[in-house]
Amino acid sequence: MSSRLAIDGGTPVRDRPLPYARHVVDEADILAVADVLRGDWLTTGPAVADFEKAFAGRVGAKWAIAVSSGTAALHAAAFAAGIGPGDEVVTSPMTFAATANCVLYCGGKPVFADVQGSSCNLTPDSIEKALTDKTKAVAIVDYAGQPADLDAIHDLAAKRNLVMIEDAAHALGATYKQRPVGRWAHLTAFSTHPAKHIATGEGGMVTTDDEKLAETLRAFRNHGIRHDAHARARSGAWFYTMDFLGYNYRLSDIACALGWSQLQKLDGWLARRREIVAQYAGAFSRMEELEPPIQRPGREHAWHLYVTRIRPETLKVDRTQVFRALRAEGIQVNVHYIPVYWHPHYQALGYTHGLCPVAEAEYERMITLPLWHGMTRKDADDVIEAVNKVFDAYRR
Ligand SMILES: *Cc1c(COP(=O)(O)O)cnc(C)c1O
């Protein structure tokens, strides 16, 4: 027995659509921001340093440098890695375009290696195959919040004298072999966009253990000037020099106060995400039509995204139809990601379809179900109900 799908005019499971991701802001966050608004610094004041120190402490890195977005964090990391014209950077096709774009910003060439099907992460083997004598760095992604093989990739980078850049926009709070994401790579980039684990509106962070890299990152976000306004005000000096061409990628005190306050709640939020994942896993583990995501051994997954794959051979319809039917039920499913080099900008640069067959095949089957720390048990039950309803109608 199956009830009529909303896409066919039936009653949707939810009237108010459930987003695939969203932020949570509480009164403590609002008070933290209001405090900054009543103070002397709206940007580059004490709240920046406080947020950076707390963030570095949380991920076990020596330095954290706050910037205006996750994309700015990746750009800063690629610049600090010394990427320039003629340099190749091995990266993943299964990510948001910013991971590869940061290489283009610096005049370098992204080289896409294929991913492992189950995790959608790069593997040391696929990276190794993509290396040439022009490779200067690897820019890996912890897809959906699951760390890649960080020890083996770290060793590979060390052996080949490559800079290891890690796009950890999904992976704040994840660990690999008990060591937090944020202290494996030379440079780790995070995002504090509202869809991610903690929110500052727009925002990003780079962590590193290397003091020289940290200095370059700080100057890069401030036009290539090595002393910021806050430091000059404290020292009473007016003189500064612009040493290289940087940008204004600063993150405001307003945003950093929000980020600090959000960070205090990270552990509880990670636990909440794991609970929802367990609820989903219980419902989906014996479902023929759907492969739930799997957690590989040796890691604590940060569960930014809950990416499932459909098994097309069990269904009368394709992924697009399942996606539309779930959306009609009020479940704001998504797809992460269109292979980066399929985008017209990359096609115009000469990248062609077929480059990474595993990533392309997984992409065709993917559906991201809602997962965020403010979701209730009832929200997750609605998702499960909608998935059951849609597969009941479309089962072969
Ligand atoms: C969100 C995201 C980014 C970009 O972060 P912004 O803060 O939106 O600029 C980069 N890489 C990945 C994998 C992301 O998910």
> pLDDT tens, 22-81?
999 999 999 999 999 999 999 999 999 999 999 999 999 999 999 999 999 999 999 999
CA distance 170 to 176: 14
Determine the average pLDDT of the residues in 200-209.
98
Task: Give the neighbor-by-neighbor strand order of the sheet with 290-291.
Answer: 290-291, 306-310, 366-369
159 has catalytic annotation: no
- With a 6 A CB cut-off, is 108 part of the ligand 1 pocket? no
Q: Which atom from ligand 1 is nearest to the alpha carbon of 191?
A: 7
Please state, in angstroms and rounded to a whole number, the distance separating the CA atoms of residues 333 and 369.
5
What separation in angstroms does the CA of 312 have from each of 46, 140, 173, 317? 54, 29, 34, 8
Contact 167 CB / ligand 1 (< 6 Å): yes
Query: How does strand 179-180 pair with strand 135-141?
Result: unpaired
Nearest to 157 by CA among 178, 114, 186: 186
pLDDT tier for residue 2 given thresholds of 50, 70 and 90: low
Q: What's the whole-number mean pLDDT along residues 185-207?
A: 98
Tens digits of residue pLDDT in 377-392: 999 999 999 999 999 9
Q: State which ligand 1 atom lies nearest to the alpha carbon of 143.
A: 13
Whether 132 shows a pLDDT value over 80: the answer reads: yes
Give the pLDDT confidence of 75-128 residue by residue, as tens digits.
999 999 999 999 999 999 999 999 999 999 999 999 999 999 999 999 999 999
pLDDT band at 376 (very low <50, low <70, confident <90, very high): very high
Block residue for tokens 């283009």: 104
Rounded to an integer, what is the distance from CA 247 to the centroid of its chain?
Answer: 22
Mutate to test the pocket of ligand 1, among 91, 92, 167 (most ligand atoms within 8 A of CB): 167
How many residues appear in the chain?
396
Q: Quick check: 302 pLDDT over 90?
A: yes
d(CA 76, CA 218): 9
Of 62, 196, 212, 265, the active-site residue reads 196
At 307 the pLDDT is 98
Quote the CA–CA distance of 282 and 320 in Å, as a whole number.
25
Closest atom of ligand 1 to 336 CA is: 15
- Which pLDDT does position 1 carry in this prediction? 46
What's the 306 CA to ligand 1 centre distance in angstroms?
16
| Distance (Å) from CA 388 to ligand 1 centroid | 31
Between the CA of 169 and the centroid of ligand 1 the distance, in Å, is 5
**3-class DSSP state of 26:** coil
Atom of ligand 1 nearest to the CA of 71: 9
State the distance from the centre of ligand 1 to the C-alpha of 204, rounded, in angstroms. Answer: 9
Return the H-helix or E-strand segment holding 291: strand 290-291
Mean pLDDT score of the chain, rounded to an integer? 96
CA distances from 210 to 215, 217, 369 (A): 9, 11, 38
Contacts of range 262-268, beta carbons closer than 8 Å, 24 or more positions apart: 262/29, 262/192, 262/198, 262/199, 262/200, 263/51, 263/54, 263/55, 263/58, 263/198, 264/28, 265/24, 265/26, 265/198, 266/58, 266/172, 266/173, 266/197, 266/198, 267/173, 268/373
Q: Residue 352: is its pLDDT beyond 70?
A: yes
- State how beta strands 187-191 and 306-310 pair: unpaired
